[in-house]
Every structure is written in structure tokens, then in C-alpha cells.
Chain A
């Protein structure tokens, strides 16, 4: 096979960093990465970056002048706006005093990154590029005891086809807090490399819903590292529907006993889209629970990937871990890859995994049509049912309709194309 890897991006990045941040040596270690991971790299086997490597992308250093439309999903939410990866305090909503946004330095969260002492994270292109060239690092801190009733909506906007943008955010929940966050990815960026760190202190609850809906030529390579302490609960849900290439990668470390992480998601893939949900959950202590449940619908020539890994350390007895992936194929040209992995060193655990891929059930379609429902409507009903099960399982009741509506237009598009 002819190897076309130009990897121009990394030399562009280096030039950019040396010019813009000449006096910040802490950025230098992250310039070590010189090329994109190759398909030989196990973690990237199913998500190839050849096309990205051939793009000539420059890190974006423009103040953006354009106005952006902010479409809040929740009327009374608090919006935080990042344009071209930069936090826009003036266009964002005002925060309550219990929530603080502050600028931090790499050293302030270095310790957390070090906990994920794992090669695929260490050489992750998002981690490296974003830490080397992000202009400012923001931490959003929720003070102890906040039971936060208004959801926060973070909007990632901006970008152009030949530029990359690198939003960074550190979400830090104090003890006994209760927070809900929506993350919107709706950029035009050739490459969007959002790097997110989540720290959940004792007995805190975070529900985070990520909606990946970048414009059609975009590559989105999002990376999230989460640390969960005692009695804390992370409920994460990703909806992948936009972009040309979207990978939502989450590494979750259960570090305190009786903590819980649900890393679930849905992908809806059409055209030539490539969607990838990659998740690793590390059970380091006893009595924790996790789930990685993913469902998807693929049409036309799209491809999708689910890579789920659960690692249970010897110490982590009484772990309960669940993994499941289910895909519905609407086209015989679509491809779905599923790679569930269990790495278990403890002996008293309950771990289950499974994967299914298939077309919509002919018996079910016939049953519905025999009751006067058109074949196309029957498919809509069955896909809705397939996704609704997932939505009600994964997110709070009050957000069900919002997320259901977010899937709706894409499903209609998928089925309409099937009939063209």
C-alpha cells in the first residue's frame, strides 16, 4: 500500500507554538508528537486518519468577528461560549457566585493527566496538540454543596475548513454537588480537538450530554479524561451525528469506592460519515459500577466504531461492569466495527459484554404494516423505539424529549436517503 502521510499539521503546529508562545517551555513536551497515529496503532485501527493527514491545516489564531447563532436546547440554561476554542466571557451568560471560571496553568492539572499513564493517552493527538497550542486553559469550578438547578450549555463554535481549533476545559465538581452540562460541538473546523478534564469530588453527580454536530467537512477528535472519587457518579451521554469524522474518546478512572460511571452513546451516521465511540473505564478500587452502552443507526456508506474497554485491577473486587453495543444497518454498504475488551485481574466481579449488528427486523415491519402503517413509518417507529430505550436508560427524564428531538431530523434524513 502506498503511504501518503504528509503530517504537515505537526510542523505547522510547532512553528505556530514557537512563534505565539516563545516563553512557555511547559508547552514544549507536547510537541513531541510528529505524526498522526497510523492504522497499525491498535487504538486507531478502525478510525483511519489518512484523510486528515492529507489536509493542510493550520492552528487558528484569529479573533473571530462573526456573530454566531446560539441555539439553546434549554430555555433557562446558562450558556458558556467558546469561539475558535476561546472562552468568550462577554457573550456568555453570567454565572452565579458558586461557580467560578478561572484561568489555570498546565501544572494545575498535570497530576490528573499523569493518572492516565497509558500510552494511547500519552501520545493522543488531541492531548498533545491542545496542550501545546491552546491559548488559555479554563477551569470551571463548582463549589462544594451546589445543587445546581439550571443546566449549563457549553457551545463550541467557529473554525474554518483549513484550520484547527483547540478548546480546553477543566470541569471540577466540589463535594456534594449536582451538576448538568450540555456540550455542543457545532464548528466548521477542519480539525476540532477538544480536550476536557473532569474531576468529581466525593459524593458529586455530573450528568454530561455531548452533542457532536459539526459541519460536514469537519474532523472532531474529542478526548475526555475523568477522575471519579468516592460515592461520585458520572453520567455521560454522547450523541454523534455531524461531521465527516467524529471520535468521542473517554477515559474514566474510578478512584473512590462506591462510585459509578455510565459512558453511553448513540451514533447516527449517513453519507460517508465516520463515527467512533471509544471508551476505557478503569476500575481501580472495589465496589464500583460502570456501563458502556452504545447504539447506532448507519445508512448509505457510513462507518462506525465502538471500542469499549474495561480494566478491573486486582484490588477492585465487587466490580459491576456492563458493555453493550447494538447497531442497525439501513444500507449494505455501511460498516460497523465493534471491539469490546475486558481486562480483569480481580476474581469477584460481574462483567458482561455483547454486541449485535443487524437490519431492522422484517417480522416487526410486517406486523406494523399489517395494522395499516406504511413501511417507511414502521421503520421510523422501530428506530425510535430502538433509540428511545437507550435515551430513557441513559439520561434524566427531563431531557428525554430534547435528545429525542435531536435525533429526529437525522433519522428522517437517513430514511429519506434510503428511499431515494
Chain B
């Protein structure tokens, strides 16, 4: 069953074409990796999927569970079950982490027509989820992402992912700024959430993350398009030979 279908997506920012006819199909249970050199449009793709203002399609379409995503706002997309782990999580000084997490957790529950959790029950649930990601209570008492280290910010993203239980998660350069230990914790977190009903898209520069989160399909993105797709070996090939060979092959 396809969860996400992107067809011929074209998108420009400040009159400059960034996505030039990108197509991608993601089915339930799959893990996709999108790799590509700087400036190939990877982060634009993630913002486009999340529905950020200014990242509307010029042409093409995206459907999510057979629903047209293009007219939907970011919160509507999130409620449907789309999650973006940010490359640079945003600091929210003055917003307590625990309150923020409860707010997003309950708003998803409400959307799904499930019962919201009481404060106490939520805290219990949160403790359990946080523990698996080695997130201490002390961190949850701070403001959202405010003064967090790079690793803490990425773990906090995965914590949100775990609480929201999305159908599809886009991890935008989640490995950047992580040391090996943090990388392991984050990857384990993602792997634990993976099941036959959901899907993950991992956007990354390097093969390193893919040692921990095993992709079913690897796509190479260049100049706003996917130019080559293959299995996990394609990532190893890129790691060894760089992007230039594939890029040259294409041109």
C-alpha cells in the first residue's frame, strides 16, 4: 500500500527552480534513504512535504494515504500522520518542554478521536518514552530546544516522533552533529518505532547513518530530481566513490 506519492514535483524559491520534476513513491513498511550533494534540494523536499509557507508546488502533486496534501497546512499534515525531524530544531525560549510535548501529544490524540491523557498519565507515558532515548527529566524541565546540545536536540526530535506515532517520518540530516553514541541512541529510537504500517524517509549526506537505519531503497538526488534509485548497496557505492561518478553517468 502506498503511503506517499510524489509526482513530478516542481518548486521554485525566489523564482529559482529548486525541485525539477521529482517523483517518489513510498509504501507501508518501507525505509527510504535520499542522498545527494549539497544544494540538490533535499531540505527543500522536506519543507515541501511538511507544508512550510513559501514551499508550495508550481507543478505536480503529492498524495498521502490518497489525500491531496497540497492544500493542507503544516498542522493538518502533521495530524494526518506526517512528521518532519528538523535538521536544525528551533529553540522556543519560554515554552516548557513538558507542556509542549503534552500539547502536541493531546492534539494528535484528539485528531485521532482517542482519549487525551490526564497530566499525570501523560507524565508517566512521557517518562517511559524519554527513558528509551536516554532523555533525563532535567532536560524536559527546560525550554524547548533552548540551550540543548546538538545531540539533545536530535534526541528531542525523535522523542516527539515517538509521542506522535506518525505514519511517515522524514528525518532531515538527523545524523549531522551527532557523535557515535548519540547516533546509536537516535537510530535505535527510530528502529523501535518502525513497523509494517509506517514508513521512514531518511535524508542524509553520508552513508554512516544507514549503518544503523537500514534502508530498503536508496535514492540519489541531484539538481532537484531523483537521478538514480537502488538498494542499500547504492549508498555504499556512493560512500566509496563519491557522487561525481553517478552524476557524470547521468549527464
Q: Does A372 lie within 8 Å of B75, measured CB to CB? A: yes
Q: Within the assembled complex, what's the spacing in Å between the Cα atoms of A384 and B94?
A: 8
- The residues of A with any CB-CB pair to B shorter than 8 Å are 361-364, 366-375, 381-382, 384-386, 388-389
* Contact in complex: B90, A363 (CB < 8 Å): yes
- The reply to whether A372 and B79 form a contact with Cβ atoms under 8 Å apart is yes
Complex A-B: 21 CB contacts under 8 Å: A362-B53, A364-B90, A369-B74, A369-B75, A369-B78, A370-B51, A370-B52, A370-B75, A370-B78, A372-B75, A372-B111, A372-B164, A373-B107, A374-B75, A381-B95, A382-B92, A385-B92, A385-B93, A385-B95, A388-B94, A389-B93
Closest 10 pairs (CB-CB, A-B): A385-B94, A372-B78, A369-B74, A367-B90, A371-B104, A389-B94, A369-B75, A385-B95, A370-B74, A372-B107
> Which residues of A sit under 8 angstroms from B89, Cβ to Cβ?
367
- Is B50 part of the binding interface, using a Cβ–Cβ cutoff of 8 Å? yes
- Which residue in chain A gives the minimum CB-CB distance to B90? A367
- Least CB distance, A373 to chain B, in whole angstroms: 6
Q: Mark B207-229, 1 if CB is under 8 A from A, else 0.
A: 00000000000000000000000
A373 to B92, CA, bound (A): 14
Considering the chains assembled together, what is the distance between the CA atoms of A362 and B84 in angstroms?
17
Distance in Å from the Cβ of A357 to the closest Cβ of chain B?
A: 17
CA distance A388 to B50 in the complex (A): 29
Q: Which residues of B contact A381 (CB under 8 A)?
A: 92, 95, 100, 103
**CB < 8 Å neighbour of A370 from B50, B93, B100:** B50
The answer to whether A375 and B73 have CB atoms under 8 Å apart is: yes
- Cα(A411)–Cα(B90), bound, Å: 23
Given contacts A372-B108, A375-B73, contact A364 B52 (CB under 8 A): no
Instruction: Give the distance in Å from the alpha carbon of A364 to the alpha carbon of B86 in the complex.
Output: 12
* From A362, A363, A371, residue with most partner B Cβ within 10 Å: A371
User: Please, which residues of chain B bring their CB within 8 A of the CB of A375?
Assistant: 73, 75
* B160 is an interface residue with CB less than 8 A from chain A: yes
Residues on the A chain within 8 Å of B75, using CB: 369-375
Contact with A along B74-90 (1 / 0, CB 8 A): 11011100001010011
How far apart are B170's CB and chain A's nearest CB, in angstroms? 10
Task: Flag if A371 contacts B164 (CB, 8 Å).
Answer: yes
Nearest CB on A from B48, distance (A) = 12
* Chain B 122-166 interface mask (CB, 8 Å, partner A; 1/0): 000000000000000000000100000000000000001000100
A382 to B100, CA, bound (A): 11
Contact residues of B between 38 and 65, Cβ < 8 Å to A:
50-53
